[in-house]
Amino acid sequence: KNEVEQSPQNLTAQEGEFITINCSYSVGISALHWLQQHPGGGIVSLFMLSSGKKKHGRLIATINIQEKHSSLHITASHPRDSAVYICAVRYNNDMRFGAGTRLTVKP
């Protein structure tokens, strides 16, 4: 079993829809990261969370430390949000990555 599990693997949405991507982890962590990877391969760090909730524009990330679970929400989704979203956790100075969720937003 992977230490970081993401769901769904693939997600197709219509423009304007509310998107939720989930991440569950099985280890004690010091921080959780949500990353966005575009088709060219480059990765952008969206959020770093250790508790609670963060918001940046249309993106919202939440984490429940007790349940070892985090969610990434996208409100009013847009085709430019199409990317792979990766959940990563940091523990013992190591990073462990989820397999990613491929999001496609259709106009």
Calculate the alpha carbon distances from 40 to 36, 43, 44, 61 in Å. 11, 9, 12, 24
Distance CA 69, CA 80 (A): 26
Q: Which stretch binds other proteins (CB under 8 A): 19-27, 37-45, 55-63, 65-73?
A: 37-45
Q: Which stretch binds other proteins (CB under 8 A): 20-28, 62-70, 73-81, 97-105?
A: 97-105
State both tokens at 20: 């939720």
Shortest Å, Cβ 40 to other proteins: 7
Among 13, 59, 74, 100, binds other proteins (CB under 8 A): 100
Among 24, 63, 72, 98, binds other proteins (CB under 8 A): 98
Residue 65 binds other proteins, judged by CB under 8 A? no
Shortest Å, Cβ 30 to other proteins: 10
Helices (H) and strands (E) in the chain, counts: 0, 11
Taking a C-beta distance cutoff of 8 angstroms, is the pair 3, 26 a contact? yes
Total number of residues that touch other proteins (CB under 8 A) = 19
